[in-house]
Amino acid sequence: MNYKRKLKEIPAEEIHANLKFLQLLSKQHGSIESASTEIINLEAILNLPKGTEHFVSDIHAEYDTFKHILSNASGVVRRRIDEIYQEKLTAKEKQGLASLIYYPREKLDLISTREVKIEEWYKVNLKRLIEVSRVVSSKYTRSKVRKSLPKDFQYIIDELLNVNENLPNKEAYFTAIIKTIIDIDRSRDFVIALSQLIQRLAIDRLHIVGDIYDRGPAADKVIDELMMHHSVDIQWGNHDVIWMGAAAGSLAYIAIVLRISARYDNLDTLEDGYGINILPLVTFAMEKYSDDPCEVFTPKAGLESLSEYDLRIIKQVHKAISVIQFKLEGQVIKRNPQFDMDNRLLLDKMDLEKGSVIIDGKKHALSCTNFPTIDPNDPYKLSSDEKELMAKLKRSFLKSEKLQRHINFIYSQGSMYLPYNGLLLFHGAIPMDKQGNFKKVAIGDEQLSGKALLDKFDILARRAYYEKGNPKQKEKDLDQFWYLWCGPESPLFGKKKMTTFERYFVADKNTHKEERNPYYKHRDEQDIIQRILLEFDLNPKRGHVVNGHVPVKVRKGESPVKADGQLIVIDGGMSKAYQNVTGIAGYTLIYNSYGLVLVAHQPFESKRKAVESGQDIVSHVTQLDKVKERKRVADTDIGVQLKQQIFDLKILLAAYRMGIIKEIH
3-state SS assignment for residue 628: coil
State the CB neighbour count (10 A cutoff) for residue 14: 12
| pLDDT digit string, tens, across residues 598-615 | 998 888 888 888 888 888
In the chain, where the domains are located: 7-48+635-658, 53-209+548-631, 236-402+421-426+434-534
pTM: 0.94
- Residue-wise pLDDT for 235-265, tens only, equals 999 999 999 999 999 999 999 999 999 999 9
| Cβ-contact 457, 240 below 8 angstroms | no
Instruction: Report d(CA 316, CA 322) in Å as an integer.
Output: 10
Tell me how crowded residue 609 is: count the other CB atoms within 10 A of its CB.
13
- Residue 237 CA from chain centroid, whole number: 8
| Residues pairing with 425 in the sheet | 418, 546
Residue 511 has what pLDDT? Answer: 96
pLDDT of residue 648 exceeding 90, the answer is yes
Least confident of 326-340, 381-395, 505-519, 549-563: 549-563
The string of pLDDT tens digits covering residues 68-125 is: 999 999 999 999 999 999 999 999 999 999 999 999 999 999 988 887 789 999 999 9
Task: Name the residue with higher pLDDT: 113 or 380.
Answer: 380
Rounded Cα distance, 228 and 259, in Å: 30
In a 3-state reduction of DSSP, which class is residue 344?
helix
167 falls in which pLDDT band (50, 70, 90)?
low
Which residue, 354, 332, 338, 346, is CA-closest to 379? Answer: 346
For the residues 576-599, what does the mean pLDDT come to? 87
CA nearest to 370, candidates 284, 280, 314, 288: 288
- Confidence bin at 213 (pLDDT 50/70/90): very high
CA quadruple 302, 303, 307, 311: dihedral positive or negative? positive
What φ, ψ does residue 318 adopt, rounded to 5°? -60, -45
Question: How high is the mean pLDDT of the chain?
Answer: 93
**Residues 533/539, Cβ–Cβ less than 8 Å:** yes
Asked if pLDDT for residue 381 goes beyond 80, the answer is yes
Burial of 352 (0-12, 13-18, 19+ CB in 10 A): middle
Calculate Rg over the CA atoms of the chain: 29
For the ranges 155-164, 203-212, 553-562, 565-574, the maximum mean pLDDT occurs at: 203-212
For residue 383, the SS3 value is coil
What is the per-residue pLDDT across 399-448, written as a single tens digit (0 to 9) for each? 999 999 999 999 999 999 999 999 999 999 999 999 999 999 999 889 99
